[in-house]
A and B are shown apart, each in its own frame.
Chain A
Amino acid sequence: MSSSVEAITVLSSDGDEFKITVSAAKLSKPLNWMLEDVCFSDDCDEVPTIEVNSKTLVKVIEYCEKHAPRANSGASDSDAEELKKWDIEFMKMDVKDILFHILMAANYLHMEGLYDLACQTAADLMKGMTVSQIRKIFHIKNDFSSEEQEQLRRQHPGCSFD
């Protein structure tokens, strides 16, 4: 990759173009590999497509740009606390709207930090949900027989099944 390139353009699955700095793109393993293999320069017309919709990609890039300085500077923790607070604010999003898309994008882009953050946020939101609610939100089919279900109720008296 040309060392003079500071930002690259990527396409979302909706066909929209987005700019992302090279240091931010390095947070994603696939993008990092791509940066190492492909020549990105000003006259390069190759624009990689990321199979993430535009709305989600905006948020993913926002996360990358925020975390890139610390990730690339080698481990100084002076801003760690501030970054944690930023993460909490960043994750205040509607589950149905975008959180699950972020989760899938982080998994697809191999972004460990964002993946863990999104999983922890989703797990926090699950607290207090009944079994039926969990099945509904995650599209899980109940394949237990009625006998097994009765046995589960006995095994887990504290669980809310309805």
Chain B
Amino acid sequence: MLSRQPLKKVKIECGEDQTVFDAPPPPPPAVPPQLNEDILDYLFSFLPIKEAVQVGTVSRRFKNTWHLNQMLLFGPDFARFNQKELVDVVERVFRFNRTPEIQAFCLHIDPRGIEVLINNWLGICALKRIKELELEFSQPFLLESHYLNITTLQTLKLTYCEIQMPQMLTGLKFLNILVLARLTLTENQLQTLLSNCKLLNTLDISVCFGLEVMNICVKDNNNFKTLKIAYCAGLEDLNINVPSLKSIFYRGAVIRIQFEKALPLKEAYFKFFPSRGYLLSHKVDLLVIDLYYVTVLTVTSAFIEPLAPRMRNGVYREVFFRLAKVRELQILMEGGMFCNPHDIAVFLKSCPTLETLFIDLNSYIFECGLYWKLNEKPLLDNFQYGFHRLRFVKLTGFKFAEYEIELVKVLLQKSVNLETMVFILPSDHRTLLDRPSDAIYYNQLFRSWIVSPIAKIFLYEHSNDETMAPSHQEFY
């Protein structure tokens, strides 16, 4: 019966031929071996500086162990410090630091008036062969060109920095991760970075300005696996030519995203902003063809809507595309006001190997007017395609609204191998499931639609949901 499930179920099965014995007494807890002081000194140097200072209070021997610290992280843990307090702490740490190498320096600060000090600290980091550098400023800061020539850097994260490119970029050869946020980026700067970072694995650009067309062309670096682009105002075209790419994450307005060719991507995430009008398909048509090999996909309803069947050149027709390898699909319902249950069903039809489906209904309300009633609903009622591989469906934020139930109906009726369908009630408790008798009614209704002999249905409160989560969580 459909009912609100307890948080956890534990099922213990014992076969007929098995005998249950009394459990043996648990072994005595193992005592960890004693590490010598030199090992402890080295181990403590891997703690973030805040914890390293705390370790100094365990005994006299380790009072100054933070002088050897190589993780100089002054990030969110120091958010409550004002600029002066933070400067005092950072200055003291650098003054006493005796480690030959600094693994990481992270600084979140207002740079106004302390530019000289910041440059001093960066200079020490460069001398001590820093590997990971994260600078997050609340006001613009000019990063002098020679810091981009630090050869040992493996991770570089810059927020609100004005980048000054060296005339000849000689550093960043070992850079693995590059994160640029809230800065102005020119085509020339981007291309210089891409051509010099021969070992780059991840490029993450968010809230950056200055580019209408972004060309990510990296053909001679097989390490380049992940590209993340988000909230780049003014960006119209994103052209990608990275044969080794495995993951793409995009968040922002609907733009034209074009791959040189369809890549064997492991995962793709496209969170298009809600649009005020009906979305034109030409920006998504080509993109979806390039996603042929993707195995894990997240899209918003604003991605599905332009691909939905509708009048095209005077003829009502579907857009033909195949997401032939998609095993897991997550649909985030936001924006795309005209996306209806039939559009979703047609989209699923293009994913013939789909096994796991997550739909986050959010606060989305299907706008199903006369067009839906006269055209789309009859098509959904006579939907012929079966979701033969689909085994797991999770509908989050399920309100038991009329059109959500239409979606459930087609999923249950067309999924012959379905094993589990999970309903998660909305976090704001706005559900039409008011009385216990409602649960009984819907339980019977849903069961009457099930065609899979092994399908089970579960309902959880939002706060009690411990069922399988999608591979893609929010990436910003």
Which A residues fall within an 8 A CB radius of B? 77-78, 80-81, 94-97, 100-101, 103-104, 107, 115-116, 119-120, 122-123, 126-127, 131, 134-135, 137-144, 152, 156, 158-159, 161
Shortest CB distance A129–B (Å) = 8
Q: List 21 A-B contacts (CB under 8 A).
A: A80-B176, A81-B201, A81-B223, A101-B33, A115-B42, A119-B42, A119-B45, A122-B43, A122-B46, A123-B43, A123-B44, A123-B51, A131-B54, A134-B58, A135-B59, A137-B32, A138-B32, A138-B40, A140-B62, A142-B58, A156-B57
Which chain B residues border A156 with CB–CB below 8 Å? Answer: 53-54, 57
Q: A95-B32, A131-B54 are in contact. Are A142 and B43 (CB under 8 A)?
A: no
Q: Does B225 contact A (CB under 8 A)?
A: yes
CB distance from A70 to the nearest CB of B (A): 13
Whether, in the assembled complex, B374 has its beta carbon less than 8 Å from a beta carbon of chain A, the answer is no
Which residues of B37-95 have CB atoms within 8 Å of chain A's CB atoms?
Answer: 39-40, 42-48, 50-51, 53-55, 57-62, 71
Roughly how many angstroms separate A80 CA and B310 CA in the complex, as a whole number? Answer: 47
Q: A81-B201, A131-B57, A161-B57 are in contact. Are A100 and B46 (CB under 8 A)?
A: no
Closest to B29 in A: A96
Chain B contacts for A137, CB-based, 8 A = 32
Residue of A nearest to B39 (CB): A107
B222 at the interface (CB under 8 A from A): yes
Q: How far is the CA of A161 from the CA of B56 in the complex (A)?
A: 12
> How distant is the Cα of A158 from the Cα of B31 in the complex, in angstroms?
29
CB pair A123–B60 under 8 Å, yes or no, is no
CA A137 to CA B45, docked complex, whole Å: 17
Which of B29, B34, B45 gathers the greatest number of chain A CB atoms within 10 Å?
B34
Q: Are B60 and A143 in contact (CB under 8 A)?
A: yes
Which of B's residues lie within 8 Å of A, judged by CB?
Answer: 29-35, 39-40, 42-48, 50-51, 53-55, 57-62, 71, 176, 199, 201, 222-223, 225
CB–CB A141/B59 < 8 A: yes
**In the bound complex, do residue A127 and residue B30 qualify as a contact, i.e. CB atoms below 8 Å apart?**
no
B50: A residues at CB distance < 8 A: 158
Contact yes or no, A103 B58, CB < 8 A: no
Contacts of A107 in B (CB 8 A): 39
* Closest residue of B by beta carbon distance from A142: B59
B60 and A138: CB pair below 8 A?
A: no
Among A77, A95, A122, A131, point to the contact of B58 (Cβ < 8 A). A131
A80 to B57, CA, bound (A): 38
Q: A138-B35, A144-B60 are in contact. Are A119 and B55 (CB under 8 A)?
A: no
B222 touches A78 (CB 8 A): yes
Give Cα distance in the complex from A78 to B221, angstroms.
9
CB–CB B39/A152 < 8 A: no
Q: B32–A96 contact, CB under 8 A? A: yes
Q: Are B199 and A119 in contact (CB under 8 A)?
A: no
Task: Check A139 against B34 for contact (C-beta < 8 Å).
Answer: yes
Contact among B30, B59, B71 with A140 in the assembled complex (CB-CB below 8 Å): B59
Please tell me if the beta carbons of A103 and B35 are within 8 angstroms of each other in the complex.
yes
A107 CA / B35 CA spacing, docked (Å): 11
Closest chain-A Cβ to B103's Cβ sits at a distance in Å of 9
Q: Are the C-beta atoms of A80 and B223 separated by less than 8 Å?
A: yes
